[in-house]
Structure 1
Amino acid sequence: MFSSKEKNTDRKRVMERNVIAKNTSLVGDIKSEGDFRIDGTLEGTLTTLGRVIIGVGGFVKGNVVSENAEIEGRFSGQLQVSNTLTVKSGAHITGDVTIGKLSVEPGAIFNATCAMKGAVKELNQQNAKQKASEKTA
């Protein structure tokens, strides 16, 4: 009865795109369900269910939690990306990074501690299978 309207509303919400424009500085915490593009400066925490893009002139100092991220500018802080982080050639990243998948272009500066969630899970599953086969042999 209400399912079709609710699904359409959810899709629109996720498809929203928020922009912090060039020459704009923002200090504070942001929570959103839509995508974010940052071409200015953000100091604080950004939490979104969508994608975060830090443009060439963009700078984020603080924490970012998102599903996907693409960085062309500068980032300093704690970055948690549940799916894919794409680091472009002009990017400069420092801090702590937790990701699902990582793509880094040549020329990018990536001075961060990095943990991949999917890799740890996969290794644990392989170790469990190996121990089980050793017990049966």
Structure 2
Amino acid sequence: MIGEKKAATEFDEKDITTIVADDLEIKGTIRFKTSVMLKGLFEGEIYSEGLLVVGPTARVNASITTQTLVSHGEITGNVIANEQVTLKSTSIHNGDISTPNIIIENGSIFNGSCAMRAKDITVR
């Protein structure tokens, strides 16, 4: 409706600073301060001071340290998020999660453990 605020886990793709297309395969380390959406394959390490969105076509095999993670796709690896992790209904997560806030939607698959903690990490 007009004038309604979006929930913290909702966003317009046009508001994402960088989009990594679904036909790309990247290996290595990425660091960013704004917002990135992964749609393709990524293997390595991710360090973010902003928002990481894993799109529904993405497959990520990485250790992730971020402020906020919204996953629609597949992640294998451990996640540390200083603000929040949201596993959308299409997501698959194999690995541990450490965050002060987590949302796991019905239909999401989560294989791992979750440690709830205070906001205290520093992204390097």
Distance in 2, Cα, partners of 1:78 & 1:87? 14
Distance in 1, Cα, partners of 2:78 & 2:87? 15
Contact 1:20 1:41 in 2 (8 A): no
Confirm or deny that 1:92 pairs with 2:82: no
Counterpart code for 1:62: A
Alignment partner of 2:106: what SS? Answer: coil
Equivalence for 1:129: none
Contact 1:54 1:72 in 2 (8 A): yes
Report % sequence identity: 23
Distance in 2, Cα, partners of 1:18 & 1:79? 20
Confirm or deny that 1:24 pairs with 2:24: yes
How high is the TM-score relative to the length of structure 1? 0.73
Alignment partner of 1:56: what SS? Answer: coil
Contact 2:97 2:113 in 1 (8 A): yes
Query: Which whole-Å deviations, capped at 9, do the CAs of 1:69-100 have from their partners, x for residues lacking one?
Result: 10000000111111111110010001111111
Runs (4 or more) in structure 1 with deviation over 2 Å come to none
Alignment partner of 1:64: what SS? Answer: strand
Distance in 2, Cα, partners of 1:71 & 1:23? 18
Confirm or deny that 1:82 pairs with 2:47: no
Residue 33 of structure 1: how far off its partner (Å)? 1.1
Is there any run of 5+ residues in structure 2 with no aligned partner, and where?
A: 1-14, 119-124
Residue 19 of structure 1: how far off its partner (Å)? 1.6
Residue 16 of structure 1: how far off its partner (Å)? 6.9
Distance in 2, Cα, partners of 1:96 & 1:84? 14
Is there any run of 5+ residues in structure 1 with no aligned partner, and where?
A: 1-14, 119-137
The 5 Å alignment of 1:1-137 reads 17-118=17-118
Residue 23 of structure 1: how far off its partner (Å)? 1.3
Residue 49 of structure 1: how far off its partner (Å)? 0.4
Counterpart code for 2:86: T
Q: Structure 1 residues 16, 23: closer, same or farther in 2, change over 3 A?
A: closer
Q: Larger relative CO (CA 8 A, sep 6+): 1 or 2? A: 2
Structure label with greater radius of gyration: 1
Count of aligned pairs between the two proteins: 104
